[in-house]
Amino acid sequence: MIEPNTFKAVPEENGGRLPLLTLDEFFNGNTEEDSIAPNQWGYGRPTFSELWDILKKVEAMPETAWVRAALHDDTELRSAAGTRK
């Protein structure tokens, strides 16, 4: 998972645009179920780990160039200690 401080620096260096994250940058080490489709969690949305597995399979397809996660522009970042920044 990309470190919050590293992630926060990217928009500052990129004209305010949030970066596209690789699957590992978004999913690896991330245990927050509500960090993707939070309004669907508990209402039929696959678990976080199931989504990661599905997207890794899509990424591995020969006709797929790459798969990235795009964060919503109102995403609140949490530090490693779990406090929101």
pLDDT in tens, 26-77: 899 888 887 887 778 888 889 889 999 999 999 999 999 999 988 766 656 5
Residues 11/19, Cβ–Cβ less than 8 Å = yes
Q: Is residue 77 part of a domain?
A: no
Q: How many domains does the chain have?
A: 1
Q: Is residue 85 part of a domain?
A: no
The pLDDT-based confidence of 10 (bands split at 50, 70, 90) is low
What is the token pair recorded at 83?
A: 């406090």
pLDDT of residue 48: 87
CB 41: neighbour CB atoms within 10 A? 16
Beta partners for residue 21, in sequence order = 69
pLDDT of residue 80: 47
Q: Is residue 30 part of a domain?
A: yes
pLDDT of residue 39: 76
| Cα dihedral value 30, 67, 50, 17, nearest 10 | 40
pLDDT of residue 81: 44
Q: Which residue has the higher pLDDT, 23 or 4?
A: 23
Domain with 40 in it: 4-70
Is 17's pLDDT higher than 80?
no
